[in-house]
Copies of this chain bind each other. A is one copy, B any other.
Amino acid sequence: MESGSQIREENYAADICSIKEAEARINPFIHKTPILSSESLNALSGRRLSFKCELFQKGGAFKFRGACNAVFSLDDDQATKGVVTHSSGNHAAALALAANLRGVPAYIVIPKNAPKCKVENVTRYGGQIIWSEATMQSRESTAAKVLEETGAVLLHPYNDRRIISGQGTIALELLEQAPQIDTIIVPISGGGLISGVALAAKSINPAILVLAAEPTGANDAALSKAAGKRIILPQTNTIADGLRAFLGDLTWPVVRDLVDDVVTVEDKEIIEAMRLCYEILKVAVEPSGAIGLAAVLSNSFRNSPAWKSCSHIGIILSGGNVDLGVLWDSFKK
């Protein structure tokens, strides 16, 4: 089979050592999430699929790994004033939970258009919510104000060594649970998850392929890879509320060098993948979480000679925070 891109000498934001350190740090707190498989979905895709169920992670998404690593990396003086972030949902809840476990305050700036169930998760874990407008500008300025008032530490959702290292622990687990995997498909948004996964996986098995799955309505990673430079879109339009962020300056070099390709899919393919996850795997997966399966089933992936040799694919079901009414409405369309 085609060999994947290799780790070069460049100093990326994280590495296998920082990821293994993260694993040791967060292991007492996280769930080791199971792998699910389905003969029906194997038959449908023509590959063997191993679903890494990060939707069963605490807080309902992989984000707890990075947040937990970041919060428990702080020294006591830093931690005591608390942590701040701006996030539409899963990172927010994850940070609230991690701060709760450490016994420090979490200030969460949430845009007014965030999904209801994600906001409820923040409240459940004791996070203090500060509302902002939906724009990135409003999110950032509101967060800056909170920082100034509280002296808390800002923890970015993805453009941070500690966050990337925490997310990378998924790949350590996945390759221990299913070492025969030759390909991993990962949702891409800001790039924190895929950077960690690519750095860990390619360090363990340099031949493994790491592919990104991205909505066509938020395809900055595909465009950036094609252009060879980081591209920021004027706007995004996708059902996948967790995949609307853009690559950061720390995640872009990893995506540029180590992500072997980006598979873009339409929202209707994401919805179909959510339906299959629900009906066949029996899991409630959010749109961002279903995109890996959507990519594997997409015509562009199936018909591409480049990916014909991908025979055993690890798919990261990244999160499960979806309002049931939204899920049902999307199925009826």
Partner-B contacts on A (CB < 8 A): 31, 34, 36-37, 39-40, 55-56, 58, 60, 117, 124, 275, 278-285, 320, 324-325, 327-328, 331
Contacts and interface: CB of A to CB of B under 8 A. Distances in A.
A218 to B, nearest CB: 23
Given A34-B34, A124-B40, A282 B324 contact: no
Contacts of A279: 117, 284, 324
A55 B34 CA distance: 14
A179 to B, nearest CB: 17
Given A34-B34, A325-B328, A328-B328, A282 B40 contact: no
Given A324-B331, A327-B324, A328-B325, A60 B278 contact: no
Nearest to A280: B60
Contacts of A283: 282-284
A320 B284 CA distance: 11
Copies in the complex: 2
Nearest to A40: B124
A328 B320 contact: no
Contacts of A284: 278-279, 282-284
Closest 3 CB pairs of A and B: A282-B320, A34-B34, A328-B328
Contacts of A31: 37
B34 A58 contact: no
Contacts of A34: 34
Nearest to A34: B34
Contacts of A282: 55-56, 60, 283-285, 320
A244 B247 CA distance: 54
Contact of A324 (B36, B39, B124, B278): B278
A40 B320 CA distance: 15
Given A56-B282, A117-B279, A328-B328, 13 more contacts: A39-B58, A40-B124, A55-B282, A56-B281, A275-B324, A278-B324, A279-B324, A282-B283, A283-B283, A284-B284, A324-B328, A324-B331, A325-B328
Contacts of A124: 40
